[in-house]
Chains A and B, each alone.
Chain A
């Protein structure tokens, strides 16, 4: 039940939103007042309960899945960022699962299950960017988009079935288009709800548009390397989401309207991610996606390359392994070591890059240091043999 005061506030918000553009910054800020939280929606009829049960089953499987990263510190941090993004009253409705998956993604289901990919955590440069994506997903949840989509799909598929039975008309193609169009409207709505969360959060609204711009640039880098057409500029008929360029545009306008200050919390974010970053990046490197991986690293490091970034650059180039890559890899690992990295991977990478370049003796030396640092590594037996082979 929505209280009278809450209803009044919503009405006020709705009215103010329609006000002419000549309002002051203060008024603009008030436009972004969030409607009061009325609690998570509960399924009401047999269809909805069935739909919820499907998500509950998925969540049960997720609880036991090897695919979930179970790290209490990281878990607590991501939960905290969601609470900062959407507010303490709302955030408890979500149960977050961090999923080991290198792609740029997060999602939220109607029963409150939220999936956050490690690929997303790896790409974000600060807390505000992460908050903007989590807020967007929470926007889908608050607006009950998955449920609406489910209902829409059922309605549309009923029409398609009856049309087929009664007239033998094949509406399958039209049906697909309406569903996708529906998805795009929802994405826009979630983006704008997300922008409102950000506007009243401690984070600057600008962060949301910056995420999309970077996603476009990353895929451009990938497209160029793979000699395929660049995407993400125009929304096409079958796209389920608005084109990232379009999103960046309206999100930037929303940020301008909100005119909010805020703290990106970049330092805190990189401090928390430091121990995980290399592991998440290794999963990205496994995808044979050199140009995009290089772009991701350059965006992360920006002007302030830390030792971990040099190790990552070493891995990036060593794994591609052309003679020039091996030179860059060697330099990167050396730089990480000189600047005081504690990651043993730097010595392993340096040893392997040197060996492949033909400098077996120096390579063996670096590998020996690695083996001293990690005596029980999974590849100990192999590396010991390579060291012995080089010393013959």
Chain B
């Protein structure tokens, strides 16, 4: 029995070690002050504290959350050049992502985001609630509000993304949260960040 227990403990420790590998998660607190975002592609001053994940969604991208990704998530993508995808393309052969083209119409940008977001997160149900002109950091672009669902999940999840092209490069800020409580809880602060962000 002793042997058995030892194996269980050893395998639990091994399993925990394994589990912590993919997360590889460093977290850094984002203070209420002017903050350099996505390797200097943007600058913004949040109204409250956030947590920044060490894993980047793109080369010049960054991910923040307050309460964990299931409850709220704010992604920044900056300086996406012609021919690049929004998210980092992790598998060309299995999950190729559509690429940004500098001649895209505002509606094309919305479709580009929809495909990138859905493929990256394996989402099969994505519906646009509204698509309208808006500014991102003072640059003319689009605001898209959408809802999506995860398999076997009863929660309605809502996202709000703003996209704009500045000097031929695409910038995106995307906020997602369950509609129940969490979306509204941070949306005003997020919209202020989208309005006031400085694009570099």
- Is the A/B pair a real complex? yes
**Chain A contacts to B: CB under 8 angstroms:** 58, 61-62, 64-67, 99-103, 164-165, 226-228, 283, 286-288, 319, 321, 352, 355-356, 378-379, 381-383, 385-386
CA distance A228 to B115 in the complex (A): 21
Shortest 8 CB-CB distances between A and B: which pairs? A66-B149, A381-B132, A64-B154, A379-B131, A228-B93, A101-B124, A382-B131, A61-B152
Given A165-B4, A287-B119, A386-B107, residue A381 in contact with residue B131 (CB < 8 A): yes
Task: State which of B3, B98, B125, B154 has its C-beta within 8 Å of the C-beta of A100.
Answer: B125
Does the CB pair B98–A288 fall under 8 Å? yes
Q: Which residues of B contact A355 (CB under 8 A)?
A: 105
Partner of A226, one of B93, B103, B115, B152: B93
Q: How far is the CA of A300 from the CA of B173 in the complex (A)?
A: 39
A-B contact pairs, 17 of them (CB 8 A): A61-B154, A65-B153, A67-B151, A67-B152, A102-B124, A283-B124, A288-B115, A352-B105, A356-B104, A378-B128, A378-B129, A379-B128, A379-B130, A381-B132, A381-B133, A382-B133, A386-B107
- Tell me the interface secondary structure of chain B in the complex: mixed
A357 (CB) vs chain B CBs: closest residue: B103
B97 contacts partner chain A, Cβ-Cβ < 8 Å: yes
Shortest CB distance A208–B (Å): 26
Q: A65-B152, A66-B125 are in contact. Are A321 and B104 (CB under 8 A)?
A: yes
Interface residue? B111 (CB, 8 A): yes
A355 to B149, CA, bound (A): 32
Chain A residues, Cβ within 8 Å of B149: 65-67
Contact B130 A381 (CB under 8 A): yes
Bound Cα distance from A227 to B153, whole angstroms: 35
Docked Cα-Cα span, A381 to B134, in Å, equals 10
Residues of A within 8 A of B4 (CB): 165
Write out the residue numbers on chain B whose beta carbons fall within 8 Å of the beta carbon of A165.
3-4, 7
Residue from B3, B107, B152 in contact with A62 in the complex, judged by beta carbons closer than 8 Å: B152
Bound complex: CA A321 to CA B112 (Å): 11
Residues in chain B near residue A288, CB distance under 8 A = 96-98, 115, 119
Contact of B115 with A67 in the complex, beta carbons under 8 Å: no
Q: How far is the CA of A66 from the CA of B146 in the complex (A)?
A: 14
Docked pose: A101 CA to B108 CA in angstroms: 23
Contact A66 B119 (CB under 8 A): no
CB distance from A376 to the nearest CB of B (A): 11
Closest to B146 in A: A378
Q: Which residue of A65, A352, A356, A386 contacts B103 across the interface (Cβ within 8 Å)?
A: A356
Question: What's the nearest-Cβ distance from chain B to residue A296, in Å?
Answer: 16
Q: How far is the CA of A26 from the CA of B132 in the complex (A)?
A: 66
Q: Which residue of A lies closest to B127 (CB)?
A: A378
In the complex, residue of chain A having the shortest beta-carbon distance to the beta carbon of B97: A288
CA distance A100 to B152 in the complex (A): 11
Q: Give chain B interface residues in 78-98, CB to chain A under 8 Å.
A: 92-94, 96-98
> Is B46 in contact with chain A by the CB < 8 A criterion?
no
Tell me the complex Cα distance, A352–B124, Å: 24
B124 touching A67, Cβ below 8 Å:
yes
Residue B156 lies at the interface, judged by CB distance under 8 Å to chain A: yes
Contacts of B106 in A (CB 8 A): 382, 385-386
A321-B115 in contact given A58-B152, A385-B133 (Cβ < 8 Å): no
B35 within 8 A of A: no
Docked complex Cα distance between A381 and B129 (Å):
12
Quick one: given A283-B124, A286-B115, are A379 and B153 in contact (CB under 8 Å)? Answer: no
Residue with the greatest number of chain B CB neighbours at <10 A, chosen from A356, A381, A382: A382
- Least CB distance, A318 to chain B, in whole angstroms: 9
Nearest CB to that of A367 among chain B residues?
B107
Q: Within B127-160, which residues are at the interface with A (CB < 8 Å)?
A: 128-133, 142, 147, 149-156
Assess the B126–A286 pair: CB atoms within 8 A.
Answer: yes
Residue among A61, A65, A227, A385 having the largest count of chain B Cβ atoms under 10 Å: A65
Chain A, residue nearest B98 (CB) = A288
